[in-house]
Structure 1
Amino acid sequence: MKPNFQTMSRKELREYVLAHRDDDEAFYALMDKIKQNPNRGPVFPAPKSIDDLKHFPELLEKHRQRKQEEQ
């Protein structure tokens, strides 16, 4: 019996797809979830100077927090 892909989180479904690579239904359910919420957060431009790198620790911490919230 297959799990209910609709009730699984994106992370859970991704892990399931990786463990069951031949399950097309799970793969398509994952792609549907990705299409529903494609925004992965802001995209930051590449630093243009050494001074721009001063803000890197702050940006990295924001990225880490966002990733933790997704889990």
Structure 2
Amino acid sequence: MKIDFNKMTKAELRAYVVAHPQDKAAFYAFVDRFTSVASPETFTMLQSPAEIAEIDHLIREKVEQMQTE
């Protein structure tokens, strides 16, 4: 019996891939599903320790904000 990955929700497909890491068809369906909705925006590499520190600070602020919501 072949599983129809298109009928699975994203959460179901992710859970299936985690439970069946040897299933390459499921993995490819998972990657296709998530990359089809991913933003094509790219970012340049951080160039200085100050830029890295600023990004670290912004990420920590966002995590703290999410934890208090």
Same-fold call, TM > 0.5? yes
C-alpha deviations, 1:10-56, integer Å up to 9, x for none? 111010011111110000000001111125xxxxx5547xxxx6x87
Structure 2: give runs of 5+ residues left out of the alignment: 40-54
Aligned counterparts of 1:18 and 1:5: Cα–Cα separation in 2: 14
Structure 2 counterpart of 1:38: 38
Amino acid at match of 1:23: D
**Per the alignment, in what secondary structure is the counterpart of residue 6 of structure 1?**
helix
Ranked by relative contact order (alpha carbons within 8 Å, sequence separation 6 or more), the top structure is 1
Distance 1:6 1:24 in 2: 15
Point out where structure 1 has 5 or more consecutive residues left out of the alignment.
40-44, 65-71
Aligned to 1:22: 22
State percent identity of aligned pairs: 33
Normalised by the length of structure 1, the TM-score is 0.55
Aligned residue in 2 for 1:42: none
Aligned AA (2:7): T
1:60 is aligned with what amino acid?
M
User: Match of 1:60?
Assistant: 66
The TM-score normalised by the length of structure 2 is 0.56
